[in-house]
Structure 1
């Protein structure tokens, strides 16, 4: 197992459990305790966890894994969810994409759709097949090489954990535009309380994206359903569709339906 794979696994275990012992992690990952101690020390130096005697703990309620270490979590579910969410976007629409691993997969799925990726007919006026508005630097970078897609990037201050632009500059741009559809990446969603993010600045910008859109789609794997995080993005009444995986509980589907949210499982 590579170092990056171990770090991803360690942070994943820590996010799920809140506390991790060296011996426990060594057994789970089938490596030596010396390797785990070294990994935990290096992760602590990067302020991604807090070392304790014999292990490590998460930083607290707003604990957030950097995007590069979240990519492998629930990867197959996220790709299925992304394709289903991308299918809800019509060619020619203006779509808002927040940052996150699932929305990054949505961007990739949109770029590969035949009706969007196709070159225009010879002699026709070149119009963008899709307009994407995003505050995510990684999404903008991936889509910028696609001539069929017009990219609009908000201003703002970049957060290294998520590559998202936040703050007044980002908000100023979003208040001047309208969107056909917004696809939100979230950290938690509750059928009564709404959608959440770990960081308040991200929640604020995501809320603006949702408010500027005629339709709001939340793309999230089922591990985020029925939970809450530090900062609320929006009330559940603003969400039109939740795209998630088949592991969502039937009771949760019923509660979302009662709240007026269409649940699509893949």
Structure 2
């Protein structure tokens, strides 16, 4: 097992179980305890976990796992969701995209759409407003996309810009559609994420859009997170995977959400 594969496995186990001890991790990955200790020490130095006596804990309350590792979780579901969301976007729209692994996949799916790249539509094919550095970087190479990046302070794990500078830009624009990546979506508590600064930017995107689309895999449904983005009633469309709990979907439908499962 390569080092990168081992690190990804360790971070996945931490995310799922909330903590690991050295001996258990070594047994489950088939390596020596000394190797796991070195891995834990290195990942702790990179602020990807918190080292404890004899083991490790996730870094931060919300387990803010860097995108390159988060993207491997439920990857197939996220790709299906991303293509379904991208299909909802009409040429010529002004689109808001929050940061996150699923919204990054949405951006990639939009960039791959032939009708937005080959000149079938006159003028600008799409205007994308985002506070995510990685999304802006990926779309800037598309000449028929107008990419607007908010200002703000960059968060190292999610690549998202937050703060008053981002607020100022978003207060001056209007959007046709806002696509949100969320940490949780609950019928009673609404859409939420682990970080209050990111939630504030997402809330502004919702307020400036005529239509709000949440792109979330089934593990996010019926869950709760620290910082609220918007009530469930503010969401127009939810795109999720077929593994979603029927009861959670029924509760969300009662809030008036149009649900698409893929």
TM over 0.5: yes
Partner of 1:161: 157
Question: Is 2:118 aligned against 1:118?
Answer: yes
CA deviations 1:168-225 (Å, max 9, x no partner) are 0001000100000000011111111111111111010011001110010110111111
Once the two structures are TM-superposed, the CA of residue 60 in structure 1 deviates from its matched residue by: 4.7
Question: Is 2:213 aligned against 1:217?
Answer: yes
Q: Which moved more, 1:172-181 or 1:20-29?
A: 20-29
Question: Is 2:178 aligned against 1:206?
Answer: no
Once the two structures are TM-superposed, the CA of residue 26 in structure 1 deviates from its matched residue by: 2.1
CA deviations 1:45-93 (Å, max 9, x no partner) are 2222222222112245332111122111111111100000111111110
Q: Which moved more, 1:247-256 or 1:66-75?
A: 66-75
Partner of 1:185: 181
Partner of 2:233: 237
Partner of 2:71: 71
Partner SS state of residue 79, structure 1: helix
2-structure distance, mates of 1:209, 1:110? 19
Q: Which moved more, 1:38-47 or 1:87-96?
A: 38-47
2-structure distance, mates of 1:73, 1:187? 13
Partner SS state of residue 50, structure 1: strand
**1:61 and 1:229 in contact (8 A); partners too:** no
Once the two structures are TM-superposed, the CA of residue 120 in structure 1 deviates from its matched residue by: 5.2
Counterpart selection for 1:253 from 239, 249, 256: 249
CA deviations 1:135-169 (Å, max 9, x no partner) are 11100000001011110111111111101110000
Q: Which moved more, 1:167-176 or 1:53-62?
A: 53-62
Partner of 2:2: 2
Partner of 1:139: 135
1-structure distance, mates of 2:86, 2:67? 21
Structure 1 gaps of 5+ residues are none
2-structure distance, mates of 1:64, 1:40? 16
1-structure distance, mates of 2:221, 2:30? 31
1-structure distance, mates of 2:243, 2:120? 40
Task: Give the TM-score normalised by structure 1.
Answer: 0.94
Partner SS state of residue 106, structure 1: helix
1:31-180 equivalences under 5 Å are 31-119=31-119, 127-180=123-176
Partner SS state of residue 87, structure 1: helix
Partner SS state of residue 129, structure 2: strand
Segments of 4+ in structure 1 off by > 4 A?
none
**1:6 and 1:29 in contact (8 A); partners too:** yes
Task: Give the TM-score normalised by structure 2.
Answer: 0.96
